[in-house]
Each structure stands twice: as structure tokens, then as C-alpha cells.
Structure 1
Amino acid sequence: MARIPSLKSLNAFPHAEEHLLKKTYSGAVVTILGLLIMITLFVHELQFYLTTYTVHQMSVDLKRGETLPIHVNMSFPSLPCEVLSVDAIDMSGKHEVDLHTNIWKLRLDKHGHIIGTEYLSDLVEKEHGAHHDHDHEQEHHDEQKKHEQTFNEEAQKMIKSVKQALGNGEGCRVYGTLDVQRVAGNFHISVHGLNIFVAEKIFEGSSHVNVSHVIHELSFGPKYPGIDNPLDDTSRILHDTSGTFKYYIKVVPTEYKYLSKKILPTNQYSVTEYFLPIRPTERAWPAVYFLYDLSPITVTIKEERRNFLHFITRLCAVLGGTFAMTDSLVASVAMHATWNA
């Protein structure tokens, strides 16, 4: 096929004759620097392309009839495990015991080292379990008579054991999972499970109950990349005072969608806190309350990757610009050398 001579005028890349080209050391140095810059920029653009980013969307929460998992991991350095109890209640005022709920207590020495473990199954305060039908009153009355005979002995034994633990600086770590209904409610950790007279004998007043605590983890579902649980690694230590801590939590239902199309249902939350000091004349007992409410809005977080054509466009712009800058610099160096000659 014959070539069309007029096409030569459209050549945007003319070449000089070989004998007109001159290679210099300065040009080689600039070329090497240009290559290093282009390699660096290429790696940066490649990493930028391979890195995923997230897109947030909001919609009305349509979930019904599901449970809300609450993962708890806390330490109480000034209270033994024998006196601590966990109580959960929903907005209707009904205390619930979930058979799938697992809460464990770990005995800690004064240095925070584990010295024993105990399974905590009494999630309902004993004082709230006093509502019974009339048909069962006589049965419980008979049982109460039997327990009265051994109560004093068992109570004295427990008081002695707890006081010894307090003297040794023993603490407690409470961890596990609470599965509650998806309605507003609260759970709290306190000494409310104790008989009031036993508690008075042990602590000699509510103002001597130290509910200092460290929240290692508090979450409402599995973790996803980038989640920030604001109460994780939070410590509240009391000195020469006592009181009740209240954490007001707004739980936001969340769905995290991975690039693989896998969907992870979970929850994130925000929190505000309030501390109410106990006065010596008050009869209320200190506790740590977590009062939660659910948002009606679901947040969907979706992983996405940048478009390949966008990556090619940026790459051409970066590498082409670097090449043009290097070429101009070489020409400038060559011209300067010619003038000096």
C-alpha cells in the first residue's frame, strides 16, 4: 500500500537526525530523577485505586422482632464479684431473662490479675422477683420458713467472705453478651442483688460503695472497619466519694456492605453521661446504668472501589506531566550548557 506523503505533516512526534542528538551526563541525571518520580507517582496512584472508600446512606429502620446484642466487658476494681449483679429491663418495665444470655464474672486481685471465675445467671434483681400469683403465696411462705433457719448463718458467712475480699483489694471483671428486645430499655450493674440488711452490714452505708469502673468494651453488635465505640477503654475512678453513673445511649442500626456483597448487620451508638453523687443520708445504692434507645433511622455503609477508567486517566495525566516536565528540564540544561560553551 502506497504511503500518502501529506500524512507526514500530521506527525506530532518528529525525530531529529541521529548525528544531531547529543547525550550528556546532566541529561542522564535528569532522566533518572524523572523515572524515579514517575515510579513513585505510579505506586501512589495504584494504591489510591486499590484503596476502598465508603458511601453512607440513610433509610427508615424496618426491622421487627429481632433481638439486640449487647457485648459488655467491664472491670470494677473496688467491688468483689460476690456483691455484683446485672439487671436488664425494657421500656415496658418487665425484667427479662434470656436463656441465651451469657454473663461471666472474673475475680481480680488488687493488681488486676484474674484469680477465679464465676458464671452469673441471676440477671433479675431478687427484689423485683416478688410479684407472684395468689396461688403460689402459701408455697413461697413455707419455703421462706425453711430459708429463715439458715439465712443468718449463710448471711454471716457471706458478710465475712466479702469483707475479707474487700480487705484484700479484690475486684471483679464482668463480661459477656446480653440479648434484649429491640426496644428502649436499660441494664445496670450494681449491688442491688444483695439483701438490704446484708449490704448494710458489709458496706455500712451506701456512701461506702465504690462503683469505680473501667469499660474495656461496650458494643451493640459485631465490629466493622472504621467503627468507633465511644465508651471503649473508658475509665471512671472515684476517690473519697460514691454515686451513680448513668450513660444515655442512642443506638443507630447499621448495615455494612463489603465489596464482596456480604452484608454485616450491626449497630453504632452515641453517648452522653451523668454522675449523681450519693449523699450520706440517702438510701439509694450506687450503680452503673446504661439507658439505651434505638434510632428509627438505619445507616447503610457501602464499600466501593474507584473506576478503572478514572485510574487510567489520572495515571496518564500524572506520568505525562512528569515526562513533559523532565523533557523541558533537559532542554533547559542543554541550552544553558550551549550558552556557556
Structure 2
Amino acid sequence: MGRFGSLRNFNAFPHAEDHLLQKTFSGAIVSIVGFVIMATLFVHELQYYLTTYTVHQMSVDLKRGETLPIHINMTFPALPCEIVSVDAIDMSGKHEVDLDTNIWKLRLNREGHIIGTEYLSDLVEKEHSHKHDHHDEHHDEHAEKKHEHLFNEDAEKLIKKVKDAMENGEGCRVYGVLDVQRVAGNFHISVHGLNIFVAQQIFEGSSHVNVSHMIDDLSFGPKYPGIHNPLDGTSRILRDTSGTFKYYIKVVPTEYRYLSKEVLPTNQFSVNEYFVPMKPNDKSWPAVYFLYDLSPITVTIKEERRSFLHFLTRLCAVLGGTFAMTGTCSFLLNIPLLISTCLLKCKLILLYDFLGSFFCFCLDWVYVRFRA
């Protein structure tokens, strides 16, 4: 016992006896506040440890022969669904006519409420070009070649139907998925599907075509946590003017790797926007173009979790720091009490000395008087 008792000399945290400890009201308040702060910091650090963070890596894109899904959800408040067409042009030079397309149109009234639905698979144009010709001129020539015939009864009915819809303020929502080749190209929404003569009868000139639009969703693949599609929520409204909108998009192949090792292949993109107003002599028709190109670099986003040792280190740091600060605050709050206690002791000592001196003086005075 003696040998083990000598170990007490190495104790760096000696404790005073209970009767020597003084508990104060201010110390209790500081202790409670410190406990609340430490509990809050503990919960915060635990949440920080349990949440994941992402690490970004870049590498060369090696994907070949895959398709690129394009999700669209757009509203055209000034164009009836009967005249809206979706055209996809591929710049690879391959004439593929089996492009899977699932596009729908929703008829909207003046207030934007749905009044009808139409499947658009047969209305989506699938075209491929060997050269980067001017898209407006290309579609004018295509429309003229495709519709070189005189008006018939169907055309007259279509003209009347479209004019009635425009007078009623009908709009159109176009949504669905386009599966295109992973090469540069574009898709656009316009009235290019109309016979050029029918379009002239309806609009009385291309300058009266209003391609105002709202983009509710435009993405190039499934969404992953934290993705930001810059065109979502975009609204472009034309008043007393007309023209063509062009969105130049750079698509970046992306892989999102979850903590569970599940891999989600998708794409993110950046965009630049241009508006080309119509000129009096323009022969092209207004449209909304999305011209996309793919980046040769792929981005890998990995979810990771912090180590338990990192969690313990941060926890000890914040809890230890809080404990030290509460001790300092308690000491500072006790300084006035210590000062008042010291002053009281000094006063008592002075009073004791004064009373002792006065008592001695009285005794001396009595002694002198008694001898006299």
C-alpha cells in the first residue's frame, strides 16, 4: 500500500476536501450554460460526422455508342399545340430513323390550365445533317420540299382551328424525353412542321410568330443530389417583337457514386443564351434552339463519410474548449466576490487591531489613574 500510495505524488489533478470547496450561484449558472453549449456542440458534431460529403474527380470520357437522354418540359403560352413541332438534328452524319422519342403536348387555356393532351411521337422530326448549315435556312427548304402542294380542305380546317385557338389564347406545354446520339447536335421547338403556305395564312408573316416560353425542366439525364440545371425556371416573354432564341449548351458527362457504391450515370451542363430579333427581310421562322456539344472530360462525384477518429478529435476539441471557457468565466465572475471577501477580512483585522489597541490604552489609563 505504501508503494502504491507514493503514486499519489504524481497526481496532476489534486482535489480539495469537500469542506474547503465553495459553491456559488454564479458558478451554477455558468455550469448550466456550459452544459447546454456542450450538448449543442455534441449534437452538431454528431450530425456533421453522419452526413456525407462529395469529392470531385475528372478523367477522359471513354463512353462510346450510348445515347443521350434529353428531358424537356416547356410551356409556350402564345402557340397552340396544333402548330408546335419538335425537331432533332444530329451532326454525326448518320441517317438513323429509329430514334426513340416520347414527347407529349398539353393544350393550355389562357390561364394556363390543361384542356387536352396529345401524344407527339409522330410529330417529332428526326433529321441528320452532314454539314453545319444554317438551321433556319435548312428548315425552310425542308418545309418547302415536304409540303409542295396546294391548299386542300384539311389545310383550311387546320388554319381555322389554329386561328380560333389563338383567339382564345391557347398555349401548349411540351414535355417528354428525347434519346439522341452522343454527338453534337441540336433540338428546337417551332412551327417548322407546318406547310410554309399554311404558316403564312395563319401568321401573315414570320414576324408575328411569338415563341415566348417558360422552361420548367431541361436536363440531360437523371438528377443526383445537389445538381443545378441552369435553365430550370427560365422564363422568356416577348412583347411586340419576335425572334429566335438560341441556347448554346456544353454537356459534361457525370457519374455520381453513392456511399452504397451505386453508380448513377448522368450529365450536367453549362449554357450561354442569345436572342436574335426578326428583321423585315428575314425568311426564317422564329424558333427556340438548343444547340448542344459534349465535353471530352467526365466528372466523377463520390460520396464519402468522415472517419470516426476525425469525429473524436473534433469532439474533444470543442468539448474541452467549452469546459475551459466555462472555468475561466466562473473565475472571472467570482473575482468581485473574492475582492469583497478580502476587503471584509481586512476590515475585520483592522477593527480587531483597533479594538485591541483601544483596550490596551484603557488598561494603561486605569493603571495610571489607580497609582496616582
Q: Give the drift of 1:34.
A: 1.1
Q: Kindly tell me: are residues 328 and 67 of structure 1, through their superposed partners in 2, closer, same or farther at Cα, counting changes over 3 Å?
A: same
Q: Give the drift of 1:35.
A: 0.6
Larger radius of gyration: 2
Secondary structure of 1:4's match? helix
Q: Aligned runs of 1:258-269 on 2, under 5 Å?
A: 258-269=258-269
Question: RMSD over aligned Cα, in angstroms?
Answer: 2.2
Q: Give the drift of 1:95.
A: 6.2
Q: Give the drift of 1:4.
A: 2.7
Deviations 1:4-59 (A, max 9, x none): 34321221111111211122212111111111111111112112212211111000
Secondary structure of 1:156's match? helix
Match of 2:65 in 1: 65
Q: Give the drift of 1:206.
A: 0.5
Distance 1:98 1:34 in 2: 70
Task: Establish whether residue 248 from structure 1 lines up as the match of residue 248 from structure 2.
Answer: yes
Q: Normalising to structure 2: TM-score of the pair?
A: 0.83
Percent identity over the alignment is 74
Query: Where does structure 2 lack aligned partners over 5 or more consecutive residues?
Result: 127-138, 342-372
Match of 2:304 in 1: 304
Deviations 1:148-191 (A, max 9, x none): 79x51111111000000011011100000000000000011111
Matched letter for residue 27 of structure 2: G
Q: Aligned runs of 1:220-299 on 2, under 5 Å?
A: 220-299=220-299
Q: Indicate if the aligned counterparts of 1:255 and 1:265 stay in contact, CA closer than 8 A.
A: yes
Task: Establish whether residue 25 from structure 1 lines up as the match of residue 25 from structure 2.
Answer: yes
Distance 1:195 1:90 in 2: 23
Distance 2:118 2:337 in 1: 85
Q: Which has the higher helix share?
A: 2
Deviations 1:253-309 (A, max 9, x none): 000111111111000000001111112222111111110000000000111111111
Match of 2:123 in 1: 122
Q: Normalising to structure 1: TM-score of the pair?
A: 0.90
Distance 1:95 1:128 in 2: 16
Q: Give the drift of 1:93.
A: 5.0
Match of 1:212 in 2: 212
Matched letter for residue 35 of structure 2: L
Q: Give the drift of 1:98.
A: 4.3
Q: Kindly tell me: are residues 108 and 204 of structure 1, through their superposed partners in 2, closer, same or farther at Cα, counting changes over 3 Å?
A: same
Q: Give the drift of 1:100.
A: 3.1
Q: Kindly tell me: are residues 96 and 213 of structure 1, through their superposed partners in 2, closer, same or farther at Cα, counting changes over 3 Å?
A: farther
Q: Give the drift of 1:336.
A: 3.1
Distance 1:272 1:22 in 2: 71
Q: Indicate if the aligned counterparts of 2:101 and 2:124 stay in contact, CA closer than 8 A.
A: no
Match of 2:193 in 1: 193
Runs ≥4 in structure 1, deviation > 4 angstroms? 93-99, 125-132
Distance 2:189 2:240 in 1: 21
Secondary structure of 2:317's match? helix
Q: Kindly tell me: are residues 300 and 43 of structure 1, through their superposed partners in 2, closer, same or farther at Cα, counting changes over 3 Å?
A: same
Distance 2:176 2:219 in 1: 11
- How many positions carry a matched residue from both structures? 327
Match of 1:104 in 2: 104
Matched letter for residue 123 of structure 2: D
**Which moved further from structure 2: 73-82 or 95-104?**
95-104
Q: Give the drift of 1:84.
A: 0.8
Match of 2:11 in 1: 11
Matched letter for residue 44 of structure 1: H
Q: Indicate if the aligned counterparts of 2:70 and 2:178 stay in contact, CA closer than 8 A.
A: yes
Query: Where does structure 1 lack aligned partners over 5 or more consecutive residues?
Result: 133-143
